Structure 1
Amino acid sequence: MIKNYFKTAFRSFWRHKLFTFINIIGLSIGISASIVIYLIAHFDLTFDKFHKDGDRIYRIVTNFSFQGEPGYNSGVPTPAGDAVIKEVPGIVMSAPFFTMYDTKVVVNNEFNAPKTIKNDGQMICADERYFAMFNYTWLKGSAKTSLNQPNQVVLTTNQAKGYFPKLSYDQVIGRQVIYDDSIKTTVTGIVEPFKEHSDFVFHDFISYNTGLTNSILKDNFRMQWNNVNSQSQLFVKLGEAAEPAAVNKALTTMLHKHDKPRPGNSEDLMLEKLSDLHFDNKYYNFDNVRSADKTTLYGLLGIAVFLLLLGCINFINLTTAQASQRAKEIGIRKTLGSNRRQLIFQFLSETFLITLFAVIISVGLTPVILKLFAGFIPPGVEFSLLQQPNLIVFLLLLTLVVSLLSGFYPSLILSGYKPVSVLKNQAQSNSNKTRNAVLRKSLTVTQFVIAQFFIMATILVSKQIHYMLNKDLGFKKDAIVYLSTPTKLMLTNKQPVFMDLVRQLPQIEMISVGGNPPSSGGAQSTVAVYNDGKKEIKMDLEQKYGDANYLKVYHLKLLAGHNLADQDSSTGLIINNTYAKLLGFRNPNDAVGKRILHFEKQKEIVGVVADFHQKSLRSVIKPLAILHPGERKFWNRTFHIALKPQTAGGNEWKTAIAGLEKAWKSVYPEDDFEYHFFDESIARFYESEQQTSTLLSWATGLSILISCLGMLGLAIYTTGQRTKEIGVRKVLGASVTQIVALLSAELLWLILLAFVLVSPVAYYAMHKWMQNFADHTSISWWIFILGGGVMVVATLFTLSFQTVKAAVANPVKSLRSE
């Protein structure tokens, strides 16, 4: 019986080769997308799911509100690490640690020859509390003793082999590792890194007490309640009966006890689930660790569902359209004793075979797609059926679901024919014809709705990206290079030497030294206080550091006062216009000369600059102060270099970079030369949107392709059914244009209906997406017209292959039997 089902199915496939091909291609596209998206979703959703009591582990983060605008920081005031255990009920364990970036590492190998190693920033200052919360496997040392003294370090096995490649783990213990030339540590333990997917990829664990006592690190730790630094991370474990809402309230009470809230602003400590760590892009995660985006992930899943749905719609449309061609087969089968259940099973088995072929094709395409989209797909996503049993289960479920979704309704229609009517060539009653036609039109409209939505969304995202990349951000971003050195102790003595060498290069216009560029991913803020004689105005103030050339390199516009000078390094600062207005100064000149309390020191406002975007356009412009770096080593380590204009076809910039590298190596021979073009750094702010645009472009292309395949199939069937009608019309004088218009009109009306239905939905979705940006482009009316127009053009192009062929056919051939 089963063998007969499959034999009949193959005969049907061979008889309708074109329709079978269209169905398989449509389904294989959707299934291929589903497999790749499943791999991505499974990869991201399994991060840090293996920790013991993981559902009770949280990170404490800081939420700000500034004049109604929210702000987020993954760090906490450093003293909170000890205070939460004493002052917050419900917390049974805390694990504070401090992340370290741009650190130079020097080790002595087995021949006692110093070896400098470039570090990737995945190191922290931690103690036994970290290892009590996160269960590493210890090979040497112990969590209780290996990090309880200053100047101790624990390494992962990979890092131990990297530092000391020819030594056993026993021999590595007791070896010295030097960080930033002054932090001399002794290896006291070795642990295995997590084998599962995790954001905790640290490999150097310096004892927390080292950070509290070392003169270089101590300045960054800042044991002050009014200072929040994203490097100061705090994880806690709640008791089994603890309520997160109550703990959140207690955390904020503790914070306000030690640091009173500012009028007009708010600052709260909140719990963030460990399971949200990998997805919450509001907070800075860890250096060189990729964060996923749940919105993007859900969007991917939605695209997979839509593409699968389009393939299923094609199958249903084409199968029901061909129903009359199989009517006699069904009538004979019923006459010979087949019941409806057997016929349903026959048609479902055909659907299953088509789906199975599509799955097999998709499995072969998946490795190719993973390579093709390697830049978009997260590192670590792999495809291996033998090593991923969950993927096999997913494919089996996908095959069954798609088979039922595609084949259930057509099997009901086909198996419902009455043998007497069928054998009298009355396969379908008028009501059945009408019902089937309405279904096909409804499904076709659904296809057009999905395709037009993708088209409109793609156009808007592209428009927003163009707006972000070309908007005047308040500073110059072209022809500027910046580079930083991790050698903090050497900066004070050697930076003037490097700057002098750079000034001698003919391609260099100007050089400045300071902290981050005007717009950057990281930010530092502190509480600033201004007293206007009647009241104190306290608020969080972001800070940038730069010498007198900083404003000139980036063309920051000075509205009032004067530029920073060397004598302003400890007494003066420049503020932005936003801060001046919040202090009550409508005229920027009125702010000059006023004094504010900044880092517990009175400083004079010497100038006011025009507002510029400190971060991406997702964020509002916040109060800002620009300070002279002076002797502050940490904020005196980035060189900002303006290049002279490059002639058309010239290589002046290439020559300039080569000159910079030569100067760098002569002054900092132990440090790698790494430079960044500022405009490229700005563009990287919008990598997520650019990836979304790429994803939508592919989804749009695939949805149009699947829809057009379905339309082509319907056009082939429709023109076949109306062959004699077309012949009669041509004999009576109808032109080719009139015939083509007649055959195309129905689908064009369906596109118009889909346009009316999708436009409000697309507008709502676009409006919600735009709310992610503080500054964004407009949702123009032409986006919708263009979206509908693209669909009309694609439809007419697809239909022309068959309608024109039918319209120009010789009517004698179609009417010969008459």
Structure 2
Amino acid sequence: MIKNYFKIAFRGFRKHKLFTLINITGLLIGTSAAIVIYLIVHFELTFDKFHNDGDRIYRVVSNYSFQGEVGYNSGVCGPLAGAIKSQATGVAVVAPFFTLSQPNVFVPGKAGAPQTRFKNQDDVVLADPEYFKIFNYTWLAGSPKSALGAPNQVVLASAQAKKYFPNLSYGQMIGKVITYDTLKTTVTGIVQTLTQNSDFTFHDFISYSTGTVVKDLKDQLQLTEWESTSSASQLFIKLSSTATAAVIEKQVNFILKKNSPPKPEDKGNTHGFSLQPLSDLHFNGDYGNFDNGRIASKSTLKGLLVIAAFLLLLGCINFINLTTAQANQRAKEIGIRKTMGSSRGQLIFQFLSETFMITLIAVILSAMLAPVVLKLFSDFIAPGVKVDFLHQPDLILFLVSLVLIVSLLSGFYPALVLSGYKPVSVLKNQVSAGGSKSRKALLRKSLSVAQFVIAQFFIMATVLVSKQIHYALHKDLGFKKDAIIVINSPWKNRTEARNQVFFNKLKAMPQVELVSVGGAPPSSGNTNSTNVSYQDGKKEVKTDVQLKFGDENYMKLYKLKLLAGRALRIGDTSKSVVINEKYSKVLGFKTPNAALGTVLNHFNGPKTLQVVGVVSDFHQRSLHEPIKPLAIYTGTNSFMKGTFHIALKPETAGGGEWKTAIAGIQKTWKEIYPDDDFGYNFFDETIAKFYETEQHTSTLLTWATALSIFISCLGLLGLAIYTTNQRTKEIGVRKVLGATVAQVVTLLSSELIMLILLAFVIVTPIAWYALNQWMQGFADRTVISWWIFAISGAGMLLAAVFTSSFQTVKAAIANPVKSLRSE
């Protein structure tokens, strides 16, 4: 019987090739989107799910509040780990670690051979032995009990170990000496490199106790400083089975309050700790994960799921519409089958088997296309997302579920309609053809409206996201951003003398207009801030202030607008500071001029500086964040003077000057820093990177919009073909009675236009609300203009009319004699 069902299904497919192709194409697009989005979402949601008792693992993070400004830091103060170990109850394991800043690694060569240097290695940490009690690693050599028990020991991940010692077995690596810059360590263990999805990509684990005996590391760890926090200093804990995060959080904050009690001048400002679940690590942008880690957005993943659901729904709607529209063509077949004894259940099963076949074909084709689609979007899909049926049993299960769910969604209602015909009515030719007032026609119209609602929503979202991106990239941010190159000198080899030589050689280049040396550009992903106090005579105003370091050319190069006072000058190193207008208002001054001469205390430590100028506000980061109080001053050490800002002269008509300039800068770099790699960034490209997420969203929405319009138009074309075939004789009679081609086309298209207008009325308030919510993520944003909705409605209308016109015009210009000949 089942074999017979499939045989009938294939005969039906051959008979209705066009409708079958439309159904398969619609479902193919929907299922392709579902498979690719499933791979992306599943990949992101499986990060660090393999650790034992993962629901009891937390990271201790820092929270701040200064004058209403909220701040977050993924790190903690140095002494906190030891205090929790000795004073907190309910904590089973405490594991601090400290990320080292790209050390150069030296591995001894064979006898007589020079040592091998590995430049600027990421993911090197000082790790407590307890680290391996929290996170699951497989040990290949050495003992987890003693491997990090003493200073100057190091455990390597297997991939990194093979990089350092390619010709040795793991056992032979034990006892080998590795030098990190000037720190000599001995290999005491090898662990298997994590193959599961994980944010813990560290591969060199130096014993944490090394930081207590090496002065430079001891200064960085700051094991006695309760008021100093660094994101490099991370702390993970594992709770006992009976403890709760809320109770432990209270204990940790009590420890902080006891060791660093609030001061009277800190009134209104807060500092505390909270426990961040391990499951939140991969998604929380406030804290980030680690310096080189990638943060996924849960809202983006939810948006992807919505897109997949919508595209699948569109494909299913097409199937339902076309199948119910053709129902009367199978009426006699159903009547004869029922007369011969077929039950309604058997007929439902037969029609569902036909749907199953179409869905199965679509899913198989989608699975074959998935790698191609992933490659197409590889620029913003995580590198680990791939199709591997042999090693992804969950993907096989998803495909099977997809086939069953889509088959039921698409085929169940049409199967009920088709199997519900009464044999007597069918054989007497009394079956409705699905006229405009029948329930089937009403359902088709409702589903068509739903299609147009989805398609128009995508159009509106795409236009608005593109408008916001254009606004962000072309808005006057308060500084010059074009034709500026930013170069960071290597901080380990950074000296005043080398900086000066490089600076002088840059100034001498004919293509260079101006050079400034200092810290980060006006707007950057890196922030530096300090807690500054100001005594106005009555009270103390304490504020968290963003810092920018620059010389006398910094403001001139970036064309920062001076509102009052003067810019920085040579010799201002230890006495002068320029603030922004926002900070002057926070301090209580009504005009920028009134802020001149103000003395700021505890500036970046115990320093006292005087305000000599006020600049117009500019955006320190992306438009997602508001403008914050800011100060610009000349740094006092080489760390603050490591970034070169180079303004290039405009290129001539022939061009090529910038390329020549970059080649000259690189040559100069190699003369001064021969052992360090050269790298540079154009400042405007750095600004554009702030909006990568939005640009990716725009790309996805553009694709979703195109596909949703395409699916809707496919279904529309199928219905137009069916409708014109049903009304062939009516069209012939109207033409014989004098109707023009334009009148016939208008008649056939009027219903379609009404459906699109109805969809527009429904979707507009929904889209406005959703888009307005999305825009709240920007502190500075464009407006939701009326023309966004008008473009959507007009665009959908034009696409639909254009698609249906292929069939309506063809029907309107047909010779009426052919349609009326049988009459």
Query: What SS does structure 2 have at the residue aligned with 1:329?
Result: helix
Taking the aligned partners of 2:207 and 2:570, their CA distance within structure 1 comes to 38
Q: Where does residue 177 of structure 1 map in the other structure? A: 178
Taking the aligned partners of 1:496 and 1:51, their CA distance within structure 2 comes to 51
Query: What SS does structure 1 have at the residue aligned with 2:639?
Result: coil
Identify which of 796, 801, 814 aligns with 2:819: 814
> CA shift at 1:174, angstroms?
4.0
> CA shift at 1:432, angstroms?
11
Number of residue pairs matched?
A: 816
Give the conservation status (yes or no) of the 8 Å contact 2:603–2:609. no
Alignment of 1:343-492 (within 5 A): 343-428=347-432, 434-492=438-496
- Residue 15 of structure 2 is aligned to residue 19 of structure 1: no
Give the conservation status (yes or no) of the 8 Å contact 2:494–2:642. no
1:181-222 CA-partner distances (Å, limit 9, x unpaired): 444444333222212110000112233344455454455444
Query: Which 5+ residue runs of structure 1 have no aligned equivalent?
Result: none
Taking the aligned partners of 2:144 and 2:543, their CA distance within structure 1 comes to 41
Q: Where does residue 598 of structure 1 map in the other structure? A: 603
1:512-543 CA-partner distances (Å, limit 9, x unpaired): 22222221212232322222222222222222
1:381-412 CA-partner distances (Å, limit 9, x unpaired): 11122221111111111100000111000000
Query: What SS does structure 2 have at the residue aligned with 1:635?
Result: helix
Taking the aligned partners of 1:804 and 1:429, their CA distance within structure 2 comes to 23
Taking the aligned partners of 1:293 and 1:414, their CA distance within structure 2 comes to 45
1:98-135 CA-partner distances (Å, limit 9, x unpaired): 22334333333335414332335222222213222223
Give the conservation status (yes or no) of the 8 Å contact 1:313–1:443. yes
Identical-pair percentage: 62
Closer/same/farther in 2, CA of residues 722 and 174 from structure 1, 3 Å limit: same
Closer/same/farther in 2, CA of residues 229 and 161 from structure 1, 3 Å limit: same
Which shows bigger deviation, 527-536 or 659-668? 527-536
Q: Where does residue 578 of structure 2 map in the other structure? A: 574
Q: Where does residue 652 of structure 1 map in the other structure? A: 657
1:480-531 CA-partner distances (Å, limit 9, x unpaired): 1112233424434422222222222111122222222221212232322222
Closer/same/farther in 2, CA of residues 79 and 577 from structure 1, 3 Å limit: farther
Alignment of 1:709-724 (within 5 A): 709-724=714-729
Which shows bigger deviation, 134-143 or 288-297? 134-143
Give the conservation status (yes or no) of the 8 Å contact 1:228–1:525. no
Alignment of 1:700-715 (within 5 A): 700-715=705-720
Give the conservation status (yes or no) of the 8 Å contact 1:85–1:92. no
Q: Where does residue 48 of structure 2 map in the other structure? A: 48
- Residue 116 of structure 2 is aligned to residue 127 of structure 1: no
Give the conservation status (yes or no) of the 8 Å contact 1:109–1:164. no
Q: Where does residue 795 of structure 1 map in the other structure? A: 800
Q: Which amino acid aligns with 2:602?
A: L
Report the TM-score, using the length of structure 2 for normalisation. Answer: 0.95
Closer/same/farther in 2, CA of residues 783 and 64 from structure 1, 3 Å limit: farther
Alignment of 1:93-242 (within 5 A): 93-110=93-110, 111-179=112-180, 181-211=181-211, 214-223=214-223, 224-242=225-243
Which shows bigger deviation, 114-123 or 765-774? 114-123
Closer/same/farther in 2, CA of residues 34 and 186 from structure 1, 3 Å limit: same
> CA shift at 1:71, angstroms?
2.9
Which shows bigger deviation, 301-310 or 638-647? 638-647
Give the conservation status (yes or no) of the 8 Å contact 1:102–1:486. no
Taking the aligned partners of 1:802 and 1:598, their CA distance within structure 2 comes to 75
- Residue 688 of structure 2 is aligned to residue 683 of structure 1: yes
Closer/same/farther in 2, CA of residues 149 and 620 from structure 1, 3 Å limit: farther
Q: Where does residue 9 of structure 2 map in the other structure? A: 9
> CA shift at 1:643, angstroms?
1.4
Query: Which 5+ residue runs of structure 2 have no aligned equivalent?
Result: none
Q: Where does residue 730 of structure 2 map in the other structure? A: 725
Taking the aligned partners of 1:92 and 1:531, their CA distance within structure 2 comes to 46
Give the conservation status (yes or no) of the 8 Å contact 2:325–2:434. no
Query: What SS does structure 2 have at the residue aligned with 1:476?
Result: coil
Q: Where does residue 260 of structure 1 map in the other structure? A: 262
Query: What SS does structure 1 have at the residue aligned with 2:495?
Result: helix
Which shows bigger deviation, 93-102 or 692-701? 93-102
Give the conservation status (yes or no) of the 8 Å contact 1:507–1:644. yes
Query: What SS does structure 1 have at the residue aligned with 2:188?
Result: strand
> CA shift at 1:88, angstroms?
4.3
Taking the aligned partners of 1:367 and 1:449, their CA distance within structure 2 comes to 30
Closer/same/farther in 2, CA of residues 534 and 41 from structure 1, 3 Å limit: same
- Residue 629 of structure 2 is aligned to residue 623 of structure 1: yes
Query: What SS does structure 1 have at the residue aligned with 2:505?
Result: helix
Query: What SS does structure 1 have at the residue aligned with 2:267?
Result: coil
Q: Which amino acid aligns with 2:646?
A: I
- Residue 793 of structure 2 is aligned to residue 782 of structure 1: no
Taking the aligned partners of 1:443 and 1:268, their CA distance within structure 2 comes to 54
Taking the aligned partners of 2:539 and 2:636, their CA distance within structure 1 comes to 32
Which shows bigger deviation, 212-221 or 352-361? 212-221
Report the TM-score, using the length of structure 1 for normalisation. Answer: 0.96
Which shows bigger deviation, 95-104 or 779-788? 95-104
Q: Which amino acid aligns with 2:626?
A: V
> CA shift at 1:601, angstroms?
1.1
Q: Which amino acid aligns with 2:201?
A: V
Q: Where does residue 527 of structure 1 map in the other structure? A: 531
Closer/same/farther in 2, CA of residues 14 and 552 from structure 1, 3 Å limit: same
Q: Where does residue 619 of structure 2 map in the other structure? A: 613
Identify which of 317, 338, 344 aligns with 2:342: 338
Query: What SS does structure 1 have at the residue aligned with 2:295?
Result: coil
- Residue 673 of structure 2 is aligned to residue 668 of structure 1: yes
Closer/same/farther in 2, CA of residues 696 and 432 from structure 1, 3 Å limit: closer
Which shows bigger deviation, 488-497 or 271-280? 488-497
1:59-103 CA-partner distances (Å, limit 9, x unpaired): 122233444443322222233222333444433322222223343
1:143-182 CA-partner distances (Å, limit 9, x unpaired): 4443344443322121122223334434544444343x44
> CA shift at 1:36, angstroms?
0.7
Identify which of 509, 516, 522 aligns with 1:512: 516
Q: Where does residue 735 of structure 1 map in the other structure? A: 740
Q: Where does residue 321 of structure 1 map in the other structure? A: 325
> CA shift at 1:745, angstroms?
0.9
Closer/same/farther in 2, CA of residues 432 and 338 from structure 1, 3 Å limit: farther
Query: What SS does structure 1 have at the residue aligned with 2:398?
Result: helix
Q: Where does residue 312 of structure 1 map in the other structure? A: 316
Cα RMSD of the aligned pairs, angstroms, is: 2.1
Give the conservation status (yes or no) of the 8 Å contact 1:116–1:670. no
Query: What SS does structure 2 have at the residue aligned with 1:466?
Result: helix
Which shows bigger deviation, 86-95 or 718-727? 86-95
Q: Which amino acid aligns with 1:701?
A: A
1:792-817 CA-partner distances (Å, limit 9, x unpaired): 01101101110110111111111111
Taking the aligned partners of 2:145 and 2:541, their CA distance within structure 1 comes to 47
Q: Which amino acid aligns with 1:308?
A: L
1:707-746 CA-partner distances (Å, limit 9, x unpaired): 0000000000000000011111111111111111111111
Taking the aligned partners of 2:209 and 2:447, their CA distance within structure 1 comes to 67
Q: Which amino acid aligns with 2:639?
A: F
Give the conservation status (yes or no) of the 8 Å contact 2:485–2:680. yes
Which shows bigger deviation, 425-434 or 182-191? 425-434
Closer/same/farther in 2, CA of residues 467 and 97 from structure 1, 3 Å limit: same
Q: Where does residue 298 of structure 1 map in the other structure? A: 302
Query: What SS does structure 1 have at the residue aligned with 2:147?
Result: coil
Query: What SS does structure 2 have at the residue aligned with 1:518?
Result: coil
Taking the aligned partners of 1:154 and 1:627, their CA distance within structure 2 comes to 43
Q: Which amino acid aligns with 1:656?
A: A
> CA shift at 1:581, angstroms?
1.4
Query: What SS does structure 2 have at the residue aligned with 1:236?
Result: strand
- Residue 765 of structure 2 is aligned to residue 764 of structure 1: no
Taking the aligned partners of 1:11 and 1:3, their CA distance within structure 2 comes to 13
